[in-house]
Amino acid sequence: MSLTVYTARIGYVGLDALDITRKSATGDALAFAPSWAILSPALDARRRATEASKLFWSSLADDDEGPAIEAEAWAIYVPAYLAEMRASYRAHRPAWERLLGEVLVTLTCYCTDPERCHRTLLARDILPKLGATYAGERAPQRGTKADKLLGSVDEELRLAGIR
C-alpha cells in the first residue's frame, strides 16, 4: 500500500498530521523542513511584499510591487528547497523510508498560500516520485477536536482497506 499525502495549515487536527516547519517540527519531520538559510530570505521577502502592497493600497505608491517581490523570492526558493530535499534524502534516508512506509500523512506548516509553500513542493513534486500519491490540500476543519480526530482515523482505516 502506498502513502497518500495531503497538505494543510498548522492547526489541522488529525493523527496523520506531520509538522514540517523549521520553527516547530521535531524528530524525523526536521528532515523535510527548509533550513533557515533559505527560509529567512523567503520570509523577509514576504514581509517586504506585504509592506509594498500596503503602500499601494493606501495610495502611497503608484505600483503594487508586492507580487513581483514574492515571485522573485519563490523563483529562488524552489530550486534551493529541492536541492535541500535531495541532500536530506541522502543524509536522512531512514526518516524518508519511515514516512514513505505510512498509509496516510498530512504535511502541515504555517504558510497561508499552499501554492507557494514547501509542504506542497514536498507532497506534490517530490514524494510522488518516490511512490506516494498526492491527494491535495485539506479544507479547513470544522467541529470539535474529537470530531476532527475521528475523521482522520476513519480516513486512515479506509485507506488501509479496513473500512
Q: Specify the length of the chain in residues.
A: 163
Q: What is the pTM of this model?
A: 0.82
Res 60 pLDDT > 90:
no
Average pLDDT estimate for 94-114:
96
Alpha carbon distances (Å) from 111 to 9, 10, 94 = 7, 8, 27
Query: What residues form DSSP beta bridges with 13?
Result: none
Q: Residues 6 or more apart from 153 whose CB is under 8 A from it?
A: 15
pLDDT tens digits for range 74-103: 999 999 999 999 999 999 999 999 999 999
> How many Cβ atoms from other residues are within 10 Å of residue 8's Cβ?
22
- 149 or 24, higher pLDDT: 24
The conformation of residue 127, written as its DSSP 8-state character, comes to: G
Q: How confident is the model at residue 13 (pLDDT cuts 50, 70, 90)?
A: confident
What proportions of the chain, in percent to the nearest 5, are helix, strand and coil?
Answer: 55, 10, 30
